[in-house]
């Protein structure tokens, strides 16, 4: 059981607004390959090479094979204790939200309600001509480069590719959450993809206590107030347990009406 500093527990116990910022690392223990991790035959491609419009224009078949592969992998996995711990945090704190770079929809499948998806969602697709949505069931049944059922246009996954703008609503919510956080948790991200990677320091510059959860140091580690080194699926449930214990002890020490 990891142990936590008194400062971290005290800071979180009295926090009003807490935000969790997640990357591929929180889904690693569910079996979703990270971007910098190995993913079989797809490891020979850098994500930036496939997740962009030029690549799609050049070879839509290849890019769709990659997304079809990821859709199948993600459909076969389950949220892990790291995702679940963030659902419990949403019940524990007055104001709590998840800002995610992940397109795997595992936070919502775990039960998180306030989720800001910065880079889209692999369970959604749309026609590039008329914008008509297409389900995963439809696009995987078609195979190849799926076509729109109403106009015949090319369908693409509803994710943000490199060189593309982030969805404005989600980004605005994420910036507001970062700027108003008492505690900002940066979980399972290498913090190299922008503008998402600017959020942890934005939160710190606005007074948040910045906590990083990762088995490996990242470019962010030197700026974090706390570095909790280890897998999210172990650290986050333990942290929730410590917070619930503290609240129970406080409750016992100061019964209501005390
Ligand atoms: C844009 C969706 C405006 C698609 C993704 C400023 C400086 C430099 C470059 C730029 C800049 N501004 C913009 C750029 C360009 C670019 C960029 O940042 N490039 C990088 C590579 C340098 N950004 C963009 O293009 C963005 N758009 O800027 O638009 C614009 C428009 C026009 C012209 C100019 C500007 C769009 C970026 C979004 C791209 N889409 N995903 C898809 O998924 O297919 S990004 C994708 O990669 C993910 O969403 C995520 O963001 C990133 C991967 O990072 P992580 O999630 O952190 O994963 P990674 O594998 O790297 O790390 C995993 C970590 O987990 C590791 O640290 C590991 O140690 C840890 N870990 C492992 N196991 C565990 C664990 N942690 C905890 N527990 C465990 N068990
Ligand atoms: Zn269409």
Could you list the pLDDT tens digit for every one of the 258 residues in the chain? 688 999 999 999 999 999 999 999 999 999 998 886 666 557 777 888 899 999 999 999 999 999 999 999 999 999 999 999 999 999 999 999 999 999 999 999 999 999 999 999 999 999 999 999 999 999 999 999 999 999 999 999 999 999 999 999 999 999 999 999 999 999 999 999 999 999 999 999 999 999 999 999 999 999 999 999 999 999 999 999 999 999 999 887 767 676
Residues 13, 18: Cα–Cα separation, whole Å:
11
Regarding the beta carbon of 232 and ligand 1, being less than 6 Å apart is answered yes
The pLDDT value recorded for residue 258 is 63
Residue nearest to atom 23 of ligand 1 (CA): 194
Residues 199, 45: Cα–Cα separation, whole Å:
27
Q: Which two tokens stand for residue 19?
A: 């935000």
Active site residues: 119
Residue 63 Cα to ligand 1 middle (Å) = 18
Q: Which ligand has the nearest atom to the CA of 227?
A: 1
Ligand 1 binding pocket mutation candidate from 21, 23, 46 (most atoms within 8 A of CB)? 23
User: For residue 216, how many C-alpha atoms fall within 13 Å in the half-sphere facing its CB?
Assistant: 10
**DSSP string for the chain:** -----HHHHHHHHT-SEEEEEE-THHHHTTTPPPSSS-BTBGGGS-HHHHSSHHHHHH-HHHHHHHHHHHHHHHHT----HHHHHHHHHHHHSSEEEEEE---S-HHHHHT-SSEEESSEEEEEEEETTT--EE-HHHHHHH-SS-B-TTT-PBEEEEEPPTTSPPPHHHHHHHHHHHHT-SEEEEES----STTGGGHHHHHHHTT-EEEEE-SS--TTGGG-SEEE-S-HHHHHHHHHHHHHHHHHHHHHHS-TT-
Peptide bond into 195 cis (omega under 30): yes
Residues 248, 245: Cα–Cα separation, whole Å:
5
Residue 135 Cα to ligand 1 middle (Å) = 25
Residue pointed to by tokens 């369908």:
155
Q: Which ligand has the nearest atom to the CA of 154?
A: 2
Residues 10, 7: Cα–Cα separation, whole Å:
5
Residues 127, 251: Cα–Cα separation, whole Å:
54
pTM of the model: 0.96
Regarding the beta carbon of 105 and ligand 1, being less than 6 Å apart is answered no
The pLDDT value recorded for residue 58 is 96
Residues 237, 19: Cα–Cα separation, whole Å:
16
Residue nearest to atom 32 of ligand 1 (CA): 163
Regarding the beta carbon of 157 and ligand 1, being less than 6 Å apart is answered no
The pLDDT value recorded for residue 17 is 98
Q: Which is the closest atom of ligand 1 to the Cα of 193?
A: 18
Residue nearest to atom 75 of ligand 1 (CA): 25
Roughly what angle, to the nearest 10 degrees, separates helices 6-13 and 232-253?
Answer: 70
Regarding the beta carbon of 27 and ligand 1, being less than 6 Å apart is answered no
């Amino acid at each position: 059981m990891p142990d936590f500093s008194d400062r971290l527990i005290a800071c979180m116990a009295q926090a009003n607004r807490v935000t969790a910022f997640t990357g591929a690392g929180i889904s690693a223990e569910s079996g979703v390959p990270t971007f910098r991790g190995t993913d079989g035959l797809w490891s020979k491609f850098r994500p930036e090479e496939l997740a962009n419009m030029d690549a799609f224009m050049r070879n839509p078949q290849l890019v769709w094979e990659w997304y079809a592969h990821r859709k199948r992998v993600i459909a076969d996995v389950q949220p892990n204790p790291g995702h679940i711990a963030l659902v419990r945090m949403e019940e524990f704190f007055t104001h709590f939200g998840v800002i995610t770079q992940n397109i795997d929809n595992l936070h919502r499948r775990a039960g998180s309600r306030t989720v800001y998806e910065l880079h889209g969602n692999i369970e959604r697709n749309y026609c590039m001509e008329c914008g008509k949505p297409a389900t995963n069931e439809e696009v995987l049944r078609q195979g190849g480069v799926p076509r729109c059922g109403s106009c015949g246009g090319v369908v693409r996954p509803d994710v943000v590719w490199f060189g593309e703008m982030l969805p404005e609503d989600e980004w605005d919510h994420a910036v507001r959450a970062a700027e108003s956080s008492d505690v900002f948790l940066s979980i399972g991200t290498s913090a190299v993809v922008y503008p998402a990677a600017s959020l942890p320091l934005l939160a710190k510059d606005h007074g948040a206590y910045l906590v990083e959860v990762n088995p490996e140091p990242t470019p962010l580690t030197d700026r974090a107030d706390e570095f909790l080194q280890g897998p999210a699926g172990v650290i986050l449930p333990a942290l929730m347990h410590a917070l619930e214990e503290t609240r129970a002890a406080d409750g016992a020490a100061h019964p209501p009406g005390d």
